Amino acid sequence: MKKILFVFVMGCLLSVGVCAQDAKQGTEPIKQTIEKTPLHQLYLPKQAIKVGVVRYKDGEVLDGELSPDGMRLILKNYSRKGSVEVTLLFKDGTEETIQRTSCVIDMLPDL
């Protein structure tokens, strides 16, 4: 019984020593961080059914999609403050280009 206990203790000590050496040599797992761009939204004057071109005033194109109810536009890559120009097709059949300043563009909270 003493021999079995001795072998067990030695095995545990040996495995702890090997783990300690691996940690010293830098073989620890690499932690990856994923940076997530926050989503932004702007409210529309009436219910829209289709989004055309979404861009900053200087012409840089943005990626946007309508909310399920059609009353908000979700901006996926709004990365800097600035006015946004959007071409929309509304439910009543009219097509308009609207402009919104950064004052009325809100960041969506993380869920």
For 16-64, write each residue's pLDDT tens digit. 565 555 555 555 554 544 557 789 999 999 999 999 999 999 999 999 9
Q: Contact, 34 vs 99, CB < 8 A?
A: no
> Which residues are 87's β-sheet partners?
97
Q: How far apart are CA 109 and CA 13, in angstroms?
A: 49
- Decide if 28 is inside a domain: no
Structure tokens at 28: 């620890």
Overall number of domains in the chain: 1
- Decide if 30 is inside a domain: no
- Decide if 68 is inside a domain: yes
Confidence of residue 13 (pLDDT cuts 50, 70, 90): low
pLDDT attached to residue 1:
72
Does the pLDDT value for residue 9 go beyond 70? Answer: no
Range(s) of the domain holding residue 70: 40-105
Q: How far apart are CA 1 and CA 70, in angstroms?
A: 75
CATH code of the domain containing 61: 2.60.40
- Decide if 111 is inside a domain: no
Confidence (pTM): 0.64
Identity of the residue numbered 32: Q
Phi, psi of 69 (to 5 degrees): -85, -10
Q: What is the residue-averaged pLDDT of the chain?
A: 81
